[in-house]
Amino acid sequence: MKGLFFTFEGPEGSGKSTHITLLYNYLKDRGFKVIKVREPGDTRIGEKIRRILLDADNQEIFPLTETLLYMACRHQLVKEKITPYLKKGYIVLCDRFLDSTFAYQGFGLGVDLNLIKSLAKYVCQDLSPDLTILLDIPVKSGLRHIKRKYDRIESRKLPFHRRLRKGYLKLAKLYPERIKIIRVEKDPICTQDKIRETVCKKICLLKK
């Protein structure tokens, strides 16, 4: 089977990291070659950029600077990990990808969406997810799930988080075949069951 690229998106506190790990273990136990990666980071260079981006002391970062740093991090990840593993036939599970930039920096901070699209051509090298799981949760509920000190992005005011959530839902309407909305349930097992059903259906479809 050729490699498959599945991404996880969602507002802060939506449980992406938890659910991507649960799905990773589920697929691995069933004999799939699978790897999980995260944005920003997951490469030596990317982790250094991640620290700059999420450091709450770096409030002076401008929206375009932030966008370019995320894009640089993404390009490193695409070249170093995602593309090589896809060529080896792996299922690559990615915690955030290009949709995050549209939602956070585009809809959230007002960076020009056409500029983001133009940059993506070079950064992502025509790589697009086979499936995107959008974990949707009300903004306040999501932020309450975070039990540690907020990072630079999480600490932004509620209007920013509301704009990015609306942005995600707009993207889902634009790309309904790729982006599947999964409402976050109080019971994480119910949410994970929906994710597994959606992912397994896509795997079966793509294997035909």
What are the structural domains of the chain?
4-207 (3.40.50.300)
Q: Considering the entire predicted model, what is its pTM?
A: 0.95
Beta bridge partners of 194: none
d(CA 101, CA 105): 5
The stretches in the chain having pLDDT less than 70 are 1, 208
* pLDDT at 40 (0 to 100): 97
Encoded tokens for 39: 């944005």
Encoded tokens for 27: 């697929």
* pLDDT at 208 (0 to 100): 65
Spell out the long-range contacts of 185-192 with Cβ–Cβ below 8 A and sequence spacing 24 or more.
188/15, 188/18, 188/19, 188/22, 191/15, 191/19, 191/135, 192/19, 192/22, 192/23
Q: pLDDT, tens digit, for every residue of 94-135?
A: 999 999 999 999 999 999 999 999 999 999 988 999 999 999
Q: How many CA atoms lie within 13 A of 134 on its CB side?
A: 23
